[in-house]
């Protein structure tokens, strides 16, 4: 998220081009949803007991 924000800032303010900032914005939104999904999956899995190594 921070790298995406920095990339958008550099594209718009330093390079003065909004077209260049589009990939960074898409990346930031995509990573936001992927991270939320990953966090939800991990938190659900954390409540389950670990599989026993003796049960083979």
**Counts of helices then strands in the chain (DSSP H, E):** 2, 0
Please tell me whether the overall predicted TM-score, pTM, comes out greater than 0.75 for this model. Answer: no
Q: Give the tokens for residue 1.
A: 């998220």
Vertex 4: Cα angle to 35 and 19 (nearest 5) = 125
pLDDT value of residue 49: 67
Average pLDDT, the chain: 84
Secondary structure letter of residue 34 according to DSSP: H
| d(C-alpha 43, C-alpha 8), whole Å | 31
> pLDDT tens digits for 35-54?
999 999 888 877 666 666 66
- Confidence class for position 9, pLDDT limits 50, 70, 90: very high
pLDDT value of residue 50: 63
């Amino acid at each position: 998220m921070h790298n995406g924000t920095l990339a958008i800032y550099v594209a718009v303010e330093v390079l003065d081009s909004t077209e260049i900032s589009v990939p960074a914005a898409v990346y930031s939104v995509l990573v936001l949803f992927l991270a939320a999904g990953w966090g939800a999956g991990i938190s659900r899995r954390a409540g389950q007991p670990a599989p026993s190594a003796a049960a083979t």
